Amino acid sequence: MRRISAILLCALLLLPLACAKRKPMEIGSATEPVADPIAIETAKIPEPSDATPDVTSASQIGTTGEDPPETPEAERTETPQTQAHSALPIECKIDWEQKEGELIRFDIDSDGREETISYRMDVENDDTIILIDEKEVLFDFSAQLTEVILIDLDPETPWVNLLVEIDFASDDYVTTEVHLVNGEPVKGVRTEGVSVDENGRVVVYFRTEFLGTRSCSCTCSGEALTPDTVWLDCWYPSEQEIAESFDELVEFYELQIAKRDVPCTVDGKEAKIPKDSYVYLRRINLQEKLAEICTVDGITAIIAFTEDEESWRYLIDGVSQDEYFDNILYAD
């Protein structure tokens, strides 16, 4: 069951006050519906020692460990121009049993007036529409809105950013950056699925077909969501998991088996991964087409690969990776 949740982190928009990291906080869930999605359950947040706790829009979404009283509608919209709200962000996951409508209120362009961010589905045209007040941002493909994250990607710009994540197929997430300039929504970069890590950094997910269909990720910076490194982290089993669940890891295609010696480099020197080695992908560099793999025996090796443009499969030394490894699972 999908849930609605929120994360408050900080970085001040309007005053050069110190930042205070905000813990993820629960807005509510489908099993525990809340009457008002804005009335957010709060989390314990350490107050910055040199900053005055804000009492404006951010605090209406939730600040300290005490549950805030419901804020009357009139008060919510009368946000002072001089507010010093902590620039969030809020992570708002969409529950598909949730009614369409208002997601959140926040002054996303820092003009002192809160915008209402909502969404609706255009069933006839199979569109998803985000509304910032009454201004429509159209996502014109068959899709399901799954998440909206408000985050200040660039403190130099006066606006905060909406990261609108849509699942346009089954678990094929596309995220579009949206912000507001002079009252008009502007669409920015489009990328794959994103999340915010515990340090408030945006993590973008990628899919690779090296050693099977795998998800990998890296942190990104700025409004262009520029990857912080060309090496993408992949999920891989821990030594403990390998020791305790070896057979399962093989059964579920999380370890591949070398069918023959595999050319590679180890510590910068030419080497070969021996036939019958069990390996896993740890990191991948899609720009330079390098894969860092480990054997369960603890050897770390770099494999250079190319991509066959016709089959979209990866080649090692000109030969399909399937000729080198067994137990590779692809997913469409």
Name residues contacting Ca ion, limited to 182-201 (CB under 5 A): none
Q: Do the strands 226-227 and 256-258 form a parallel or antiparallel pair, or are they unpaired?
A: unpaired
Q: Choose between 105 and 214: whose C-beta lies nearer to Ca ion.
A: 105
3-state DSSP helix/strand/coil percent for the chain, to nearest 5?
10, 40, 50
Hunting for tokens 């699972």 — which residue is that? 329
Q: How far is the CB of 107 from Ca ion (least distance, A)?
A: 4
Among 26, 100, 102, 111, binds Ca ion (CB under 5 A): 111
> 155 vs 274, which CB is nearer to Ca ion?
155
Pick from 36, 7, 185: nearest CA to 108: 185
Residue 177 engages Ca ion in binding (rule: CB under 5 A): no
Spell out, one character per residue from 27 to 66, where the chain touches Ca ion: x when CB under 5 A holds, - when not: ----------------------------------------
Contact yes or no for 162/152 (Cβ under 8 A): no
Q: How far apart are CA 229 and CA 138, in angstroms?
A: 32
Residue choice 41, 133, 154, 209 for contact with Ca ion (CB under 5 A): 154
Least Å distance between CB 205 and Ca ion?
23
Nearest to 154 by CA among 54, 224, 81, 106: 224
Distance CA 27, CA 244 (A): 37
Site for Ca ion in 157-176 (CB under 5 A): 157
**Binding Ca ion by CB under 5 A: which of 95, 109, 147, 165?**
109
Which residues of the chain form contacts with Ca ion (CB under 5 A)?
107, 109, 111, 113, 152, 154, 157
